[in-house]
Structure 1
Amino acid sequence: MTDAIALFTDGADWHAARLARAIERRGVECRRVSLNACGFAVGRTATGLHLPGFGDALPLGAFVRVVGQGSFEQVTLRLGVLHALDRLGVPVYNGARAIERCVDKSTTSFLLAQAGIPTPPAVAVQTADAARAAVEEWPDCVLKPLFGAQGRGLRRLSRPDEVPEPEAMAGVYYLQPFVPPLREGAWRDCRVFVVGGVAVAAMIRHGRSWITNVHQGARCEPFRPDGVVADLAVRAAAVVGADYAGVDLIAAPERDSDSGWLVLEVNSMPAWQGLQTVSDTDIAGCLADDFLRRVGAAALVRPQ
């Protein structure tokens, strides 16, 4: 075991730079590693893993900022490395299980509904005919990539003949009925940032269109992270097993939710650059504090 932690990221990431500084200010060495460069080395290293910069040693902990795009096989291998680190007693933040549950939007929807957390209906099917049947039932619905982020690839459908061919959706159609704004043209939703079971920051995102992601040009407005919104976000993060998460909520149409809100998504590798511009909370500092508490707690029970 080394005295350093691994920060899994790719390239010159604003978030990784903030995290590394926050961790090192707390007296712990932080080594940035790309999961693209990691793998297994069974019989070749003492750990059975190939972790650049660590040789035969294990990190004190692993903070997952980015898994990275890749083929199904590449992503499976990277998640396998995270599973292996967990098995070897290394605290992984977020762990592979939470990432798997969040990356697959259909699994997130299922788990939220099973836990009684208000969330829109959803279907995930593998044929265009089944998707067309869903559009027949929901004549105003949103088609999302099953694995997607930052508002990329979203489509709003109103007719069955608008359903694309399977190749355009990687063979899976994930659909939800469109949640209309409370006032026409007032496109907005809420992002709550949860760290260690606490809602530490929040914002309202005002979209230029019905897609309200910051990367799609949304304007950020401060929002107090408390009350029912905070409670729903914390519960949603716990349901998927996330140490930290960006939880997206939207105001529910009348009678769709007793809480007045619906949880849309739980993001296990959330960005917070936009949120930081409207929040007084040092988000990277909150993440570093909670992560290092986990690392310290694991060290107390780890065999010496």
Structure 2
Amino acid sequence: MIFSMNRTDTTPRIGVLANDDSWYFHDLERAAKGVADVTRVDFAALQSRIGGPEKISAETLLSGKVEAIIVRSMPPGSLEQVVFRMDALAGLERQGVLVINPPKSMELAIDKYLSLSKLAEAGFRMPETHVCQTWQDAVAAFEQLGPSVVVKPIFGGEGRGIMRVDDPDLGHRVFKTLQQMGQIIYLQRFVPHPGYDLRVMVLGDQMWGMRRSSADNWRTNLSRGATATAETIPGEVAQIAQAVMRTLDLSIAGLDFLPDGEGGWYLLEVNAVPGWKGLSAACEVDIAAKLIEYVRERIACRTR
């Protein structure tokens, strides 16, 4: 154990990696009142001192001072910055700190190609996808996957950077532009959209369902104006969701499912830093309180 043996208080100390204006941090802070000490941690402030036992800090010392870290944001950065941030979280994990989600699981889920590759290998059903580096290969893939494809960034969320391409000439220009920008080209067969999809929030062995509907946009992200209502999770989807969580070793995640029109479901993607503002309202559940309770129980199990 890395924690002080003469510590007498039993209030868990939890760091939350979040932006300074994060609604989610303030929601966790509210939910933790009286049961946990919650402190905001800035990703850009993470640093490490090596030479003797490694000490990882972010303005204040984290090594030996917090029992858990909740990753609530994943800001963009250079390759070196992203790698170091994950390395620092892995260092805290080696020192006994509970990291939600684990760094290796975060790396899997954040990288759409890596996560879909692993999930496809495990037998999960998802739209046919092609990932390449040149516009010529993308044009060939479009001809095979078309007549309509969705082009996505490998990293990203909330529908940012996603576009539908159903015209070969437009696709040609889009693919060339992406290659010139040094981007990987990620194409996914467009699945006919029924006007809604299903977001499943999983936390440990609990889960909640939310239907996201949009009458005039195939992108059903709430940040783009979609409406949210509570939805009963079909048994098949619930089983898939728990199996995905085990496959990627996630503690909390948002999973997006799309009906195939024939009674089945496609798994679209897995979000390892899921928002819960809309889901909490739609399902009338305090997700922040559930998450704090989950972390406290995990800490207590380690202590015992």
Structure 2 SS opposite 1:163? helix
Q: Does 1:122 align with 2:129?
A: yes
Structure 1: 5+ residue stretches without partners: none
Q: Distance in 2 between matches of 1:279 and 1:56?
A: 37
Tell me the amino acid that sits aligned with residue 172 of structure 2: D
State, as a whole percentage, how many aligned pairs show the same letter: 31
Judged with a 3 Å threshold, the aligned counterparts in structure 2 of structure 1 residues 84 and 275 are, in CA distance, closer, same or farther, namely same
1:276: which partner in 2? 280
1:105: which partner in 2? 112
Question: Normalising to structure 1: TM-score of the pair?
Answer: 0.89
For the 8 Å contact 1:197–1:238, the answer to whether it is kept is no
Q: Distance in 2 between matches of 1:226 and 1:169?
A: 41
Judged with a 3 Å threshold, the aligned counterparts in structure 2 of structure 1 residues 215 and 47 are, in CA distance, closer, same or farther, namely same
2:40: which partner in 1? 32
Q: Distance in 1 between matches of 2:281 and 2:152?
A: 28
Q: Distance in 1 between matches of 2:76 and 2:23?
A: 18
* Moved beyond 6 Å, runs of 4+: none
For the 8 Å contact 1:117–1:263, the answer to whether it is kept is yes
Q: Does 1:176 align with 2:180?
A: no
1:205 is displaced (CA, Å) by: 0.6
Q: Distance in 2 between matches of 1:115 and 1:197?
A: 21
2:7: which partner in 1? none
Question: Normalising to structure 2: TM-score of the pair?
Answer: 0.89
1:177 is displaced (CA, Å) by: 0.1
Q: Distance in 2 between matches of 1:240 and 1:273?
A: 24
Q: Distance in 2 between matches of 1:67 and 1:246?
A: 15
Structure 1 SS opposite 2:60? coil
Judged with a 3 Å threshold, the aligned counterparts in structure 2 of structure 1 residues 279 and 187 are, in CA distance, closer, same or farther, namely same
For the 8 Å contact 1:112–1:239, the answer to whether it is kept is yes
Aligned pairs for 1:1-304 within 5 A: 1=3, 4-25=13-34, 27-43=35-51, 47-54=54-61, 57-139=64-146, 140-158=148-166, 159=168, 160-164=171-175, 165-167=177-179, 170-181=182-193, 186-199=194-207, 201-207=208-214, 208-254=216-262, 260-300=264-304
Q: Distance in 1 between matches of 2:184 and 2:134?
A: 7
Q: Which moved more, 1:85-94 or 1:65-74?
A: 65-74
1:170 is displaced (CA, Å) by: 4.2
Structure 2: 5+ residue stretches without partners: 5-11
Tell me the amino acid that sits aligned with residue 173 of structure 1: I
Tell me the amino acid that sits aligned with residue 5 of structure 1: I
Judged with a 3 Å threshold, the aligned counterparts in structure 2 of structure 1 residues 220 and 169 are, in CA distance, closer, same or farther, namely farther
For the 8 Å contact 1:102–1:108, the answer to whether it is kept is yes
What is the alpha-carbon root mean square deviation over aligned residues? 1.9
